[in-house]
Structure 1
């Protein structure tokens, strides 16, 4: 199987959702997955869309809801007219007691189904497209109300289609492993500190060499590479959400020196931390 990348999104536990608005989108990110739900709206796009085992050619606009850990990608020829709006939100956003209320049942059923990807043809869901565009202009508490309304309108839409086949499964993903979950939770809490492989291996009662082999097999990445992804993801969030200096962010994300941080950041993001902050400050909004 071709390697599928786990994306670390710029969301933390205090955020409601993140909205990424790219007027001149470039679809150069490989097939990937992440822990969060994703609603993706693409205008003026000509190319291929992959969601799980669904592969479709898109020749205009596209609106898709993708569940946690379902791999996906868009690829096509660059076009300056292509506009992409992405909303990402954590599964923890809605507690069980909240979603089990009668009024929220349609949303719960939709989110459960999104593990297989759901397509909403934009030409048949014009009201939803308008709501999404309006959300990009809102600030403050109103965004939460409008976001919930957007989800509800998606949930009750009669013009939607499940993308993946009934037999599609996500067993590939490392978060299905209890031991990997333990490691991931530990890394999320301690990424800013010095982390030794031997100490992490002890968490799941494995030798260091055995752990490295197990981790690489389950995640398709070395432990160090996975940890760097997590740290760079958090650094990217801090670059957009805070006014901390780059050196402060580097230190807070567990990097021992600036040159190492800059080198790894550029390798992962394709640009320096300064360039990333300058280019994305006005395209990414965290609520």
Structure 2
């Protein structure tokens, strides 16, 4: 079965996306999926399965794994223990190609990132020694997260003990041109979600007719383009709410919606609650009236 292409929502003011999940907020399963971003995952404890490419590998007491972009995989986490935490860090290839290359001192980190295309599984000692750095992410601002990631990558590149899951570079079953077009689509939505999204514009940009673009997108992601845009916008709305934005109308417009009732329906569809209920549960002590 071909993996679903997943869009990773990296903030425009950040080079990476960091999510921390506990036993009650496990990462929502994306099933068998693929994305162009690099992914570094550290799971504190518990047992689970690494299902990556053609390989399956069980782990028994948490795991630290680093995989390059465009490698099919399933979710890694588990719900064995109440104190378990899973930290997922994702960053685009531009992080390596555009940013790290300007610092020759980071050559070991660049080499480590390039090796991740073979998928690196680190030993338990490496995971345990770096866990204190991973669990700090949840309380950091964007600058702190970047510095912390570089510190982790520095330690991994110098002292990390790992095995390669694949002997050779993992190659996606997707054609490079298909992946390029999906990346452009994701980037277009990321840059224009707050505006009117034009299927005609993105289709023309990619060399499709509107109908052929919609068929292509559905084949690659297993969902319609409109559904993807709505889900992306709702994720942005949640992001805005979490940044202490408590005016629903303002968040609605900032995330690209114009109709309050449609915004409420889509929010409930993807968050299983209404915007007002979400705000009440998050800011019950701050909201007035």
Question: Which TM-score tier does this pair reach, normalised by the shorter chain?
Answer: 0.7 to 0.9
Q: Which residues in structure 2 correspond to 1:191-210 (within 5 Å)?
A: 191-210=193-212
Equivalent position of 2:14 in the other structure: 15
CA contact (8 A) 1:128 1:150 kept: yes
**When the two structures are superposed, what TM-score results if normalisation uses the length of structure 1?**
0.79
Deviation at 1:26, TM superposition (A): 2.7
User: After the TM superposition, which of the residue ranges 265-274 and 181-190 deviates more from structure 2?
Assistant: 265-274
Q: Which residues in structure 2 correspond to 1:2-151 (within 5 Å)?
A: 4=4, 6-9=6-9, 11-24=10-23, 25-26=25-26, 28-31=28-31, 32-72=33-73, 73-74=75-76, 76=78, 79-96=81-98, 98-99=100-101, 101-136=103-138, 143-151=145-153
**When the two structures are superposed, what TM-score results if normalisation uses the length of structure 2?**
0.79
2:221 aligned with 1:222, yes or no?
no
Distance 1:233 1:80 in 2: 26
Unaligned runs of 5+ in 1: 282-287
CA offsets, 1:64-116, max 9 Å, x none? Answer: 12323433312545542322222333333345463364421111111122234
Distance 1:171 1:2 in 2: 8
Deviation at 1:224, TM superposition (A): 1.4
Distance 1:170 1:220, change over 3 A: same
CA offsets, 1:14-66, max 9 Å, x none? Answer: 12434333332535513334443332211222222223333222221111123
CA contact (8 A) 2:43 2:77 kept: no
Distance 1:232 1:57, change over 3 A: same
Distance 1:103 1:84, change over 3 A: same
Q: Aligned pair count?
A: 280
Distance 2:171 2:162 in 1: 21
Higher RCO structure, 1 or 2 (CA under 8 Å, sep 6+): 1
User: After the TM superposition, which of the residue ranges 140-149 and 45-54 deviates more from structure 2?
Assistant: 140-149
CA contact (8 A) 1:110 1:155 kept: yes
User: After the TM superposition, which of the residue ranges 221-230 and 166-175 deviates more from structure 2?
Assistant: 166-175
CA contact (8 A) 1:18 1:87 kept: yes
CA offsets, 1:169-224, max 9 Å, x none? Answer: 22437874444444333323222222243343233343322222222223333221
Distance 1:63 1:173, change over 3 A: farther
2:155 aligned with 1:156, yes or no?
no
Q: Which residues in structure 2 correspond to 1:128-277 (within 5 Å)?
A: 128-136=130-138, 143-164=145-166, 166=168, 168-172=170-174, 176-273=178-275
Distance 1:252 1:120, change over 3 A: same
CA contact (8 A) 1:247 1:258 kept: yes
CA RMSD of aligned residues (A): 3.3
Distance 2:267 2:118 in 1: 32
Distance 1:229 1:111, change over 3 A: farther
